[in-house]
Amino acid sequence: MDVELAKIPTSPNKSPRIRTAIIPSPRTFSQDEIVLARFGKRQQLKRRFGLLSVIGLTSTLMITWEGITATLLNGLQNGGPAGLIYGYLFVWAGSIMQALVMAEMASMIPLAGGPFNWVLMELITFGFDLTFETAEEILNAQKIIPLSMGLANVLNGTLGFAMLIALLFCMPSDISSVLDADTYYPFMSIYTYAVGSNAGGTALACIVVVTQIFASVGILATASRMLWAFAREEGLPFSRYIAKVDQNTLLPLYAIGTTTVINLLLALINIGSTVGFGAFISLIVVSYVSSFMLAAAVMLNKRLTTPAAAIPWGPFKLGRAGVPVTVLALAYSLLVGFFSMWPTEVNPSLEAMNYCVLVFGGALIFAGLFWLFYGRKVYTGPVLEIGSVQDR
């Protein structure tokens, strides 16, 4: 059976670059390989993740209950215990909306790179998570990715809420004693107060530190797959090297190594200036929501301008709920992105100032200049890695 390539829109002046590799193998191709072939991609990475391992990976990336401990200070200073509870429920509801939209998109285009692929499709026409990034290493990706997103969201949300309630329940009645503690992180004081000893509080705090280390491994894996996916489309300098896949391990080792080196270099900023490092990491929230909003806006435009029967849905689809869910997810993302750029106090000092707007604006300017002087000269659109695939 010949696998028909998905229709990829092109601009009048550019066409997708074809890296032809006819595959006449008599073997039977898996459904995952057939799906990749529809988008002109060939299977390069080993699919080693099932549902349980993907949920585990997603959970280590979300680290909700661990994250609650590290961010408890801001919540106690702005709204207190009640604000923390209702704020958490609001954010959880918003993240569910985002997860539903991303799950539907992943079910339709289960390619490494996540929302990047949706934005890519739209930009070619008009001139653009976490299992999303490892989509090409997941068995039965079209079904497993949406399911894992939903289960991981429910699991992490429940654990995070339970952790929040436990921390507030064990907290001393005098909140100021927690806020003014020498540890700076309230959860350490709460642990010590709850178990009645510094040794016990230290042991519990170590658990949080260890989970953060494990989370960094998952984050590195996710970031490296995004880098690899972008390099595969020849959208980066030295793309031909970064996009290489080691044939022994079937892993993008060059992308993993590049991502590791970049992260180590960025960590050195903290040695020279904690303010500078804080300004850099302030980009995390606004970068995520802005990329999500671009991809979700593409999906919303597709829903509103294309008959439902003409959209190549995956196994998971929102149906009639798609438009309201996407609109709610976009509204929530806009709200979060807007307030993530504000400082946490009135008349902040240089150290307490939120430099997110400055850094985010600088990143956009750099990206624009990069495209103007380099990207537009070498980038011609999606790279089609295969000309035809026969399923026998």
pLDDT digits (tens, 9 = 90+) for 345-358: 788 887 778 888 88
Q: Residues 5-19: what's their mean pLDDT?
A: 53
CA end-to-end span of the chain: 6
- Candidates 134, 118, 167; CA nearest to 46 is 134
Residue 24 in this model has a pLDDT that exceeds 90:
no
Contact 254, 244 (CB under 8 A): yes
For residue 304, what pLDDT band results from cuts at 50, 70 and 90?
very high
Contact 389, 33 (CB under 8 A): yes
Tens digit of pLDDT for each residue in 72-98? Answer: 888 888 888 888 999 999 999 999 999
Q: Residues near 334 by Cβ (< 8 Å), separated by ≥ 6?
A: 289, 293
Q: Residues 95-104: what's their mean pLDDT?
A: 91
- For residues 242 and 381, the model is more confident at 242
Using the structure block, give the residue that is written with the tokens 């990047």.
116
Structure tokens at 51: 């549902």
Tens digit of pLDDT for each residue in 135-160? Answer: 777 878 888 888 888 888 898 899 99
For residue 121, what pLDDT band results from cuts at 50, 70 and 90?
very low
- Candidates 157, 32, 178, 47; CA nearest to 94 is 157
Contact 201, 192 (CB under 8 A): yes
pTM of the model: 0.82
- For residues 319 and 377, the model is more confident at 319
Residues 30, 40: Cα–Cα separation, whole Å? 15
Residues 209, 326: Cα–Cα separation, whole Å? 35
Encoded amino acid at 339, one letter: F
pLDDT at position 124: 37
**DSSP of 306-343:** S-GGGS---S---GGGHHHHHHHHHHHHHHHHHHTTS-
Helix and strand numbers, DSSP H then E, in the chain: 18, 2
pLDDT at position 92: 92
- For residues 57 and 19, the model is more confident at 57
Backbone φ and ψ of 389, nearest 5°: -135, 135
Q: Residues 269-278: what's their mean pLDDT?
A: 80
DSSP letter at 379 equals -
- Mean of all residue pLDDT scores within the chain: 80
